[in-house]
Structure 1
């Protein structure tokens, strides 16, 4: 018997009745290249970084595309030690219905620990991963966060200093 393929973020959002638009593009994993393909600024994206704990729990950190993750802050938000966060590999992502380059805060893994940076709720309409590197989801951030009622919000992002003129 063949194991069924886990539902991806698109399937989960559709089942929840979320309103979103799917944008197909070439297989891209570099955020700036995705932005060029979609014609959107990096500041209008939500990138999701995936980690796994020693107990095999998936941890998803969602933050504005131009921000850097504060790993210690993420670890505190999910109440684990920083050293216990390891990057999630392709096999672990596959079990959550995703592939590298297309990570989304919404996944088939209902036990995933999801943390949004505290600035994400104010972003309005954004683009995020679809679970695949060849497409992105355009969605209102309220719809995105509404799909994850148990997600946490915490100050997990560090932002680049504004450029001087």
Structure 2
């Protein structure tokens, strides 16, 4: 990491004193490949989807790995129009200390809007992005939510029916 790159999520979590573990694996972008590499079910993961607003503000949506994002609910929770949600590109993620495939709700971008699905905090021990596609963070979901004090919690996920 160069001297001008922002701190990644593990550095931020460590600075907050949040307990977590890092798991290294091959450079993977597909969540199912990451789960296979770690031996973790998708239901025990938190995925973070990154968007950018027309004002270039980063919007991070964190939800259970097996859920589908409700875009309208995310836009409402973030106080923007659904039409203003655009995927964040690699350059925008880099400014927040992250790379595609490793997006985390904890970021170096202090102005980022972070929305957690209302179910995340009660998920127990989960795996989520570390900022890099070759390392995954294992953390208590409640600690992950607590690490983003300005985060919004809202019903933004469609969960599949329980088996």
* TM-score (structure 1 length as normaliser): 0.95
Residue in 2 that maps onto 1:18 = 18
Structure 2: how far apart are the matches of 1:142 and 1:92?
A: 27
Residue in 1 that maps onto 2:46 = 46
Structure 2: how far apart are the matches of 1:30 and 1:3?
A: 29
SS of 2:144 mapped into structure 1: helix
Aligned length: 162
Structure 2: how far apart are the matches of 1:161 and 1:15?
A: 38
Q: Which residues in structure 2 correspond to 1:143-154 (within 5 Å)?
A: 143-154=143-154
Residue in 2 that maps onto 1:57 = 57
Residue in 2 that maps onto 1:69 = 69
Structure 2: how far apart are the matches of 1:110 and 1:8?
A: 12
Runs of 5+ consecutive residues of structure 2 not aligned to the other structure = none
SS of 2:105 mapped into structure 1: coil
- The answer to whether the Cα contact below 8 Å between 2:120 and 2:142 also exists between their aligned partners in 1 is no
Q: Which residues in structure 2 correspond to 1:2-151 (within 5 Å)?
A: 4-151=4-151
Instruction: Say what the alpha-carbon RMSD is for the aligned residues.
Output: 1.1
Q: CA deviation at 1:116?
A: 0.4
Runs of 5+ consecutive residues of structure 1 not aligned to the other structure = none
Describe the superposition over 1:54-93 as per-residue Cα deviations: whole angstroms up to 9, x where unpaired. 0000000000000000000000001100010100000000
Q: CA deviation at 1:161?
A: 3.3
Q: CA deviation at 1:122?
A: 1.1
Describe the superposition over 1:30-70 as per-residue Cα deviations: whole angstroms up to 9, x where unpaired. 11110010011100000000000000000000000000000
Residue in 2 that maps onto 1:156 = 156
